[in-house]
Structure 1
Amino acid sequence: MDRVQRVLEYKKMKAQLLEHVASSLGRQKVNELVPSTVLADVKLQQDETAEAANILRLKGHMPLGGISDISAHIRRAVIGGALSATELMEIASTIYGGKNLKNFLSDVIEDGAVSIPLLGVYAEKIEPLSPLEKAIKQCIDDHGNVLDSASSTLRTFRHQIRSYESGIRSKLESITKSTSSRKMLSDSIVTIRGDRYVIPVKQEYRGSFGGIVHDQSSSGATLFIEPQAIVTLNNQLTEAKAKERREIERILGELSALVTESSDELLVNLGVLAQLDFIVAKAHYAKRLKAVKPVLNERGYIHFKKARHPLLPADDVVPIDVALGDDVRSLVITGPNTGGKTVTLKTVGLLTLMAQSGLHVPADEETELAVYEHIFADIGDEQSIEQSLSTFSSHMRNIVSILEQLNANSLVLFDELGAGTDPTEGAALAISILDYAYQRGAVAVATTHYSELKGYAYNREGALNASVEFDVETLEPTYRLLVGVPGRSNAFAISRRLGLGEAIIDQAKQHIDSDSTQVEKMIAALEDNQKAARLEWEQSETVRREAESLKRDLEEKMGQLEQEKAGILQEAEERAAQAVASAKEEAEVIISELRDLQKQGFSVKEHELIEARKNLENAAPTFNKKQKQVKKKAEKARRLPEPGDEVKVLSFGQKGSVVKKVSESEYQVQMGIMKMNVETEDIQLIEPTKQQVPRPMTTVRTGESHVKPELDLRGVRYEDAMQRVEKYIDDALLAGYHQVSIIHGKGTGALRKGVKTLVSKHSRVKSARDGGMNEGGLGNTVVELR
């Protein structure tokens, strides 16, 4: 595996990953990183990277500042060692960093904008350890100095030290400034030798001050003397400093003992922070490479879509598309040197190693990779100087080792298979080796120069030809991989472009048999057809995108027209309603007058009055329902899905709910326990049914309430839901309810949080709780009114 990682440049990829770690903890994790061969483990690591990548996309960062590797400090404290102030400060800083990260992840979970169940588990494992952090920070400042406030005894000793130092400096400065003493001094300064304050005295005046000589200059002309007048003060200062040191040692010892008490929690925190630093580094690296989370399998199938080598400059790399592992398990790539064959091999191998290491891969969405038990590679000139082996022998020894370990769950990469020996024998060996790999069930990718292998895929089941494109006009490779087309020899065309005479070229052609000529013509035709197909596909893609854009514009305009139509109908209805209302008022006046006449004895039949009033009521507009349907249709035509909406995924025929908007043309939809990204065109918005949408509950007639004891908000947008809740509580109070239920569903939790917040602020709400097991659980909030 070490050799494979070396030839596929896995370590260079890890060097790029190291640029994104925040601490030595993450650096150690990256250095220890190796590909996993267990599908479940790889999927877990990929999911962790995806969660961190989603956080970076939404929040822009994850706080990892202040964290350092304190494992050595903890171990020394556990065996009874006293930690330094700097080491204790690093422990406090790491505790703070872990607590800060825990709070950040908790806020992300509470916000509900992104689902992070795996990172949430890590956050739960972090112990805040606030008492230990507080104890350390009360005694030690950010620069690793023990504070005066660490203890009253330390404060006293330091006060004494400052007092002694002030007295000593005062006396020495009076000596240096004295006119009589100045001529005896080499310089009018106060300095320190061996923690004792001294003055520089000329050699000839050494007896003038008495005291102790602590040092002399290199020439011997100056002596550094502690005058007798300050010896006592210096002694007192030394003693005070010794007491200060002992007190600091006592304080650090007590803090070290506290670290020992919390050593288990600290080590757990350290492991979690190391893992989170590593995961976030993988997410940053994925963002840098514009990488995606691959689909994984263990059946040996790989399908790269626009895959890019991560070590090549983004502007220079040419993406490749390769599908291999189901019906086709052997891919033979032919083409000129420096044409990109080896880069293709390394891209397939390195991206597979990255995926099995939990890293996202630089490719397009829906790229699928396999988790292999073994990955083998014979790439480059690995000639052994020590064993004096030829290039061919070196490669063959490595191939023999590979074939001995090969099985059905292996990926094997051969570069220039069979090269370095007689072309006929080398080609025969290459064919036999590929046949053996196929019989063992392995997936094999091989590059070659041999023309015999160009026809290999046409004669073998499960094999496919490919080549790297070469532009004869510019005499340069395009680095584009052409799957299904073998490479053809460009020697004659290149020679002609470089000026070789036609006579020589024609004579050379006579030495090539007719079969070879036919094969070359066939390959040329295949290349031309594939270029034409690619051009037509690109043109059709352009037309498709234009059609989609036109469709969206038409749908938007149709929605606007429907909306305008609904507005016109509503205006007409309002005018008609006003006219009828005016007529009703006039009719009521007339009926009133008729009743007065009836009372005065005139003959006016009661049933005729009732019939007239009924006919008047029937004159009211009857198109209100149709108008609402038109308005609803217009709204449905223009509204795009939003998080929480119920939708139908057309390609699956299954219903689900929208989790989030991934891009302008994609949404993440949850169907049962499965989440997947679905294109907008594949989604049909399901509007809430009449039973799901709560009717306005505003009136109480003849003593009977039209307000239901429950409000169903499922499928309702957040802003509309909040308005409905507020109005519903007022209606429920008017109806005399003491307890009501607000059904909001589980979903992302945003609607539930909004309902809880709103009802908690209402003055007439006594309490609110989640529903019981028979009341809908977390999808229902039970509100008691007062």
Structure 2
Amino acid sequence: MQDRVLKVLEFTKVREQLFEFAASSLGKDKIKNLVPSSDFEEVMKLQSETDEASTVIRIKGNVPLSGIHDIRPHVKRSVIGGVLSPLELVQTASTIRASRQMKRFIEEIAEERAEIPILLEQVEQIIPLTNLEQTIRQAIDENGEVLDGASELLKSLRHQLRSSEARVREKLESMIRSSSAQKMLSDAIITIRNDRFVIPVKQEYRGHYGGIIHDQSASGQTLFIEPQAIVQLNNQLQDIRVKEQMEIERILTELSAKVAEQESELHVIVKVLANLDFIFAKARYGKQMKATMPKMNNEGRITLYKARHPLIPINEVVANDIILGNDFTTIVITGPNTGGKTVTLKTLGLCSLMAQAGLRIPAQEGSELAVFEAVYADIGDEQSIEQSLSTFSSHMVNIVEILRRVDFNSLVLFDELGAGTDPQEGAALAISILDEVHQRGARVVATTHYPELKAYGYNREGVLNASVEFDVETLSPTYKLLLGVPGRSNAFEISKRLGLNERVIQSARSHVSEDTNQIDKMIASLEESKRQAEMEMLEARDYLKQAEKLHQDMQKQMIEFYEKKDSMLEKAAEEAETIVDDAKKEAEQVIRDLRKMRTEKHAEIKEHELIDAKRRLETAAPEIKKTQILAAKKAKKHMFRPGDEVKVLTFDQKGTLVDKVSENEWQVQIGILKMKVKEKDMEYISTPKQLDTKPLAIVKGRDADVKLELDLRGERYEDALIKVEKYIDDALLANYPRVSIIHGKGTGALRQGVQEYLRNHRQVKNIRFGDAGEGGTGVTVVEFK
């Protein structure tokens, strides 16, 4: 991509915004060198890595990227034998720690719930240099001070140093507390000059203490003297300090050599952390501007839904749909100045550059962009005083360069094509330039004021007119892009709103040709039709959503009704059987009592009368007819075939057999519903004649779009269970025999909750973990009845 195009389309400003989201100088260096790629595979990888980082941010909220430093100069100096400062060693240890934390962070997320192969591949390159990190931290603290425990000798020297300092202070304290010291000292304090302990003595008493004068006050009235009595103690103290410094130098040299030994590993750590910082900066930037991941293709197709210019505040920008590369490859946008034509051009160009750089784009989900070999733009007033070029000449220089390079794999953006010269000649040039670029197969969007270009889209195949809307009532542009509608002049309407005399306006209209008036009326009609169509589309979308919701509610209620009906019938049958059993027991008791009476009292009751009485009692009992069992016997007498009309006994509804799903189970179409029904629950009605020769046509509804797997990774527990419930219902209505639910391994809480729900579902026949090739314990395979 040309640097001039990156600047004209303001990609450089996007990079400046991206800087704010980098956590280290390493990430900022990569952002500084960020340019769009023209390689399709590379763009796909860049988009995928940004998407993975967005997934991590959505799951965790933040990323441990603090404590990263550019330690490459430190490593280089240690390799050539240089001694690193304590602060440089601390930065090295901090960077090693950051790499270790990042490696563990990414691996835990990958193990628990997310598919992030690119990020995982990055951190797998890191070799945790734990020993080097601990060695440095045991010797140097966070502030860059060498610790006493860095070596036994240093610990001993530090102890001697503190003891010697204490003796010197004790000696000086006794001096300044004496009665004579009050008049000889300027102040009763102990201070340090040239790393030696001294006391402030008045000028006139300089000879009283002897020793060495190290400094004097600005007025010369006070001398800072090292008394003779502590010169020897100070000498001993200085000797210990020299030894301490030598030991510190030895420790730093040793640590620097250890850093040099890990040169290659440290360079890998720096490289990986730079990549990760850059990737997560892209993801955080996309989240901040509410951007989405575009679909990418290498076939020149562009479909942007509600695309916004990323540099305009989200509460001010107007979102537009931009479609190019399918039915048409060239768009000519007409409309008034300050109407948003240039912003539309820049939005398209900048979104394309951002996508090819691996950034998310400010547009709705489902938007699609192409990977172009080059993006060319001729936008704005580029008059060059130094070259003595007019605006027109400056634009033509750019256009000539574009025409020299453009091909079928290019995106070309022209702003005010042909402007700056005679209108008639400018319009002719604009048409010729558009023809040339269009014939080469490039994707082109051009803006213009020329009315001659309004008819351009009607005369050429693959070209579409468009315009930016202008509200005559408010005398202001709406910045709304209208595809398929050319712009029209609003001069008369604006003049009328501003109070120009109607007579003057009518006179002006008389000077305009009838053709122009007809064109303006046609455009006005198209604008109105466009607005009406958009309103009706929104209404239709609302009705569709309501209908889908109603359809789902009806299906749910119907299933609940029949389930409740079956339950009530079973309960009634059980109650009836209980009543009958009780009646039979009572009858048996009556018979026993009668026999007993006959035996004891010689009553005239005959045996066959007793038997008849019992039979009458049995026949008086209510008879429970189990229609399902009878229907099953009847069903066995007929060999079911696809297309047969049957009665589904459990629902008391007629249906049509679609296909046999198992040995004794069929898929049945009942109205708009498809469900599995066992043969014993069906009663054969008839076989329509036309079905003997013509296969049954089944109209597939939205259930046909149900996928064979549900991915729950990254979902919250409660949301995941809601999705599982809806998905199982959809899969049952779609008549799937088996589906897979991807929940990941993780802590097992989500897996346990999903499997518990499935075990209690009345339509689930069996559940199992996936095989090795199906995802293992991260996947549950569900088989329906």
TM over 0.5: yes
Judge conservation of contact 2:706–2:734 (CA < 8 Å) in 1. no
Matched with 1:496 is 496
- 2:501 aligned with 1:464, yes or no? no
Q: 1:690 to 1:490 in 2, by over 3 A?
A: closer
Q: 1:412 to 1:515 in 2, by over 3 A?
A: same
- 2:80 aligned with 1:55, yes or no? no
Aligned identity (percent) is 53
Distance across 1 between alignment mates of 2:213 and 2:577: 114
Matched with 1:745 is 770
Matched with 2:747 is none
Q: 1:753 to 1:34 in 2, by over 3 A?
A: closer
Judge conservation of contact 2:770–2:779 (CA < 8 Å) in 1. no
Distance across 2 between alignment mates of 1:428 and 1:122: 55
Distance across 1 between alignment mates of 2:200 and 2:402: 79
The one-letter amino acid paired with 1:78 is V
Distance across 1 between alignment mates of 2:738 and 2:224: 100
Matched with 2:166 is 166
Matched with 2:212 is 212
How many Å apart are 1:161 and its aligned residue?
1.0
Distance across 1 between alignment mates of 2:727 and 2:382: 48
Stretches of structure 2 lacking an aligned partner (at least 5 in a row) = 591-622, 633-647, 652-664, 674-699, 721-725, 741-750, 762-766
How many Å apart are 1:4 and its aligned residue?
0.7
How many Å apart are 1:61 and its aligned residue?
2.1
Distance across 1 between alignment mates of 2:90 and 2:439: 62
Judge conservation of contact 1:649–1:683 (CA < 8 Å) in 2. no
Distance across 2 between alignment mates of 1:255 and 1:139: 9
Matched with 1:658 is 710
- 2:433 aligned with 1:433, yes or no? yes
Distance across 2 between alignment mates of 1:409 and 1:683: 43
Q: 1:245 to 1:298 in 2, by over 3 A?
A: same
- 2:756 aligned with 1:719, yes or no? yes
Larger radius of gyration: 2
Judge conservation of contact 1:577–1:621 (CA < 8 Å) in 2. no
Distance across 1 between alignment mates of 2:85 and 2:567: 77
The one-letter amino acid paired with 2:708 is G
Matched with 1:509 is 509
Q: 1:111 to 1:578 in 2, by over 3 A?
A: farther
- 2:165 aligned with 1:194, yes or no? no
How many Å apart are 1:18 and its aligned residue?
1.6
The one-letter amino acid paired with 1:103 is R
How many Å apart are 1:40 and its aligned residue?
0.3
Judge conservation of contact 2:78–2:257 (CA < 8 Å) in 1. yes
Counting only pairs closer than 5 Å after superposition, residues 288-307 of structure 1 correspond to structure 2 as 288-307=288-307
Distance across 1 between alignment mates of 2:220 and 2:238: 27
Distance across 2 between alignment mates of 1:55 and 1:245: 48
Judge conservation of contact 2:708–2:739 (CA < 8 Å) in 1. no
Counting only pairs closer than 5 Å after superposition, residues 484-563 of structure 1 correspond to structure 2 as 484-563=484-563
Distance across 1 between alignment mates of 2:738 and 2:34: 56
Judge conservation of contact 1:650–1:683 (CA < 8 Å) in 2. no
How many Å apart are 1:327 and its aligned residue?
3.2
Distance across 2 between alignment mates of 1:577 and 1:147: 90
Matched with 2:184 is 184
The one-letter amino acid paired with 2:755 is Y
| Secondary structure of 1:183's aligned partner | helix
The one-letter amino acid paired with 2:67 is G
The one-letter amino acid paired with 2:60 is K
Matched with 2:94 is 93
47-56 or 35-44, which moves further after superposition?
A: 47-56
Counting only pairs closer than 5 Å after superposition, residues 56-75 of structure 1 correspond to structure 2 as 56-75=57-76
How many Å apart are 1:84 and its aligned residue?
1.6
Distance across 2 between alignment mates of 1:325 and 1:39: 17
Distance across 1 between alignment mates of 2:588 and 2:386: 117
How many Å apart are 1:160 and its aligned residue?
0.9
| Secondary structure of 1:327's aligned partner | coil
How many Å apart are 1:177 and its aligned residue?
2.2
Distance across 1 between alignment mates of 2:519 and 2:736: 64
Distance across 2 between alignment mates of 1:55 and 1:691: 27
Distance across 2 between alignment mates of 1:415 and 1:224: 79
- Deviation string 1:659-686 (CA, Å, 9 cap, x unpaired) is 238999xx99xxxxxxxxx999986666
Matched with 1:736 is none
How many Å apart are 1:142 and its aligned residue?
2.1
- Deviation string 1:129-184 (CA, Å, 9 cap, x unpaired) is 11111111211222222211111111101111111111112222222222201211
Judge conservation of contact 1:416–1:447 (CA < 8 Å) in 2. yes
Judge conservation of contact 2:704–2:734 (CA < 8 Å) in 1. no
Counting only pairs closer than 5 Å after superposition, residues 211-250 of structure 1 correspond to structure 2 as 211-250=211-250
Distance across 2 between alignment mates of 1:262 and 1:580: 90
How many Å apart are 1:556 and its aligned residue?
4.0
Matched with 2:80 is 79
Q: 1:530 to 1:653 in 2, by over 3 A?
A: closer
Q: CA RMSD in A?
A: 4.0
How many Å apart are 1:559 and its aligned residue?
4.5
Distance across 2 between alignment mates of 1:690 and 1:550: 27
Distance across 2 between alignment mates of 1:754 and 1:305: 34
Judge conservation of contact 2:418–2:429 (CA < 8 Å) in 1. yes
Distance across 2 between alignment mates of 1:355 and 1:81: 45
| Secondary structure of 2:180's aligned partner | helix
Q: 1:476 to 1:252 in 2, by over 3 A?
A: same
Matched with 1:39 is 40
- Deviation string 1:455-486 (CA, Å, 9 cap, x unpaired) is 11111121111000000010000010000011
Q: 1:402 to 1:92 in 2, by over 3 A?
A: same
The one-letter amino acid paired with 1:2 is D
Judge conservation of contact 1:139–1:149 (CA < 8 Å) in 2. yes
The one-letter amino acid paired with 2:495 is S
Counting only pairs closer than 5 Å after superposition, residues 87-126 of structure 1 correspond to structure 2 as 87-112=88-113, 114-126=114-126
Distance across 1 between alignment mates of 2:116 and 2:548: 34
Distance across 1 between alignment mates of 2:588 and 2:123: 73
Q: 1:48 to 1:652 in 2, by over 3 A?
A: farther
How many Å apart are 1:753 and its aligned residue?
6.4
Q: 1:547 to 1:654 in 2, by over 3 A?
A: closer
Matched with 2:322 is 322
Judge conservation of contact 1:649–1:682 (CA < 8 Å) in 2. no
How many Å apart are 1:27 and its aligned residue?
1.1
Judge conservation of contact 2:302–2:370 (CA < 8 Å) in 1. yes
The one-letter amino acid paired with 1:43 is M
Distance across 2 between alignment mates of 1:551 and 1:482: 35
529-538 or 149-158, which moves further after superposition?
A: 529-538
Distance across 2 between alignment mates of 1:216 and 1:162: 27
Judge conservation of contact 1:126–1:269 (CA < 8 Å) in 2. yes
Matched with 2:20 is 19
Distance across 1 between alignment mates of 2:714 and 2:105: 23
| Secondary structure of 1:199's aligned partner | strand
Distance across 1 between alignment mates of 2:135 and 2:64: 23
149-158 or 73-82, which moves further after superposition?
A: 73-82
Q: 1:402 to 1:226 in 2, by over 3 A?
A: same
Distance across 1 between alignment mates of 2:737 and 2:506: 80
How many Å apart are 1:187 and its aligned residue?
1.6
542-551 or 280-289, which moves further after superposition?
A: 542-551
How many Å apart are 1:620 and its aligned residue?
10
Matched with 1:605 is none
The one-letter amino acid paired with 2:9 is L
Q: How many residue pairs are counted as aligned between the two chains?
A: 675
Q: 1:148 to 1:335 in 2, by over 3 A?
A: same
Stretches of structure 1 lacking an aligned partner (at least 5 in a row) = 591-618, 639-647, 669-677, 693-713, 725-741, 756-778, 780-786
Judge conservation of contact 1:573–1:624 (CA < 8 Å) in 2. no
Counting only pairs closer than 5 Å after superposition, residues 723-738 of structure 1 correspond to structure 2 as none
Q: 1:367 to 1:720 in 2, by over 3 A?
A: closer
Distance across 2 between alignment mates of 1:178 and 1:482: 97
How many Å apart are 1:526 and its aligned residue?
0.9
The one-letter amino acid paired with 1:95 is I
Judge conservation of contact 2:191–2:197 (CA < 8 Å) in 1. yes
| Secondary structure of 1:206's aligned partner | helix
| Secondary structure of 1:208's aligned partner | helix
